[in-house]
Amino acid sequence: MEVIDNQPWNRGPLDPSPIDREYFEAAAQGRLIIQKCADCGNTQFPPKALCVSCGQVPDWIEASGKGKIYTFTVVRRHGVEPFSSLAPFVLAMIDIPEGARFMGNITCRDPETTQVGQNVEAYALRIDETMALPLWRSTQST
Ligand SMILES: [Zn+2]
């Protein structure tokens, strides 16, 4: 996945848990990772200490970065920064071929063009030297 380095991070400091930090650090290296359980095969997002299906410690696998919008909403007003400045923005549930369903932002110039079933791809916005935030965009846009 592409990592965008030339946009200043203006969404405030991020202090993730150790498990979430692995996800953000992989993103800074251009890898979208999700958890997969070696015992039961469950894939899950967001990352958790244990498999939500069977309670074992899950492994990390790299996802392709491709996805399809399952459903979405356009957030037009938000009471908390940095989200109030970002509104309107698209919050979507995204199905990926590896099996997990992501909750994430679709970034686009016009939220009204977003559609259920639309193909999207992950990219990452650099936070600092070690972390980046995965976001999603339409595969048709540049
Ligand atoms: Zn499991």
**52: CA distance to ligand 1 center in Å?**
7
Tens digit of each residue's pLDDT (9 = 90 or more) over 49-79? 999 999 999 999 999 999 999 999 999 999 9
pLDDT for 20 equals 96
Question: How confident is the model over 89-141, as pLDDT tens digits?
Answer: 999 999 999 999 999 999 987 888 999 999 999 999 999 999 999 999 998 64
Q: Which residue has the higher pLDDT, 4 or 13?
A: 4
Q: How far is the CA of 1 from the centre of ligand 1 (A)?
A: 27
Distance in Å, CA 59 to ligand 1 centroid: 10
User: What spacing in Å lies between the alpha carbon of 132 and ligand 1's midpoint?
Assistant: 27
* Ligand 1 centroid from CA 51, angstroms: 5
C-alpha 37 to ligand 1 mean position (Å): 5
Look up residue 119 and give its two tokens: 């193909």
CA of 35 from ligand 1 middle (Å) equals 10
Cα(124)–Cα(108) distance, integer angstroms: 14
Beta-carbon contacts of 100 under 8 Å, excluding residues fewer than 6 positions away, are 34, 35, 43, 44, 45, 63
Contact 67, 137 (CB under 8 A): no
* DSSP secondary structure of 53-106: TT-SPPEEEE--SEEEEEEEEEE---SSTTHHHH-SEEEEEEE-TTS-EEEEEE
Pairing of strands 66-75, 89-95: antiparallel
Q: Rounded to the nearest whole angstrom, what is the distance from the C-alpha of residue 46 to the centroid of ligand 1?
A: 15
Q: Which domains does the chain have, with CATH numbers?
A: 18-138 (2.40.50.840)
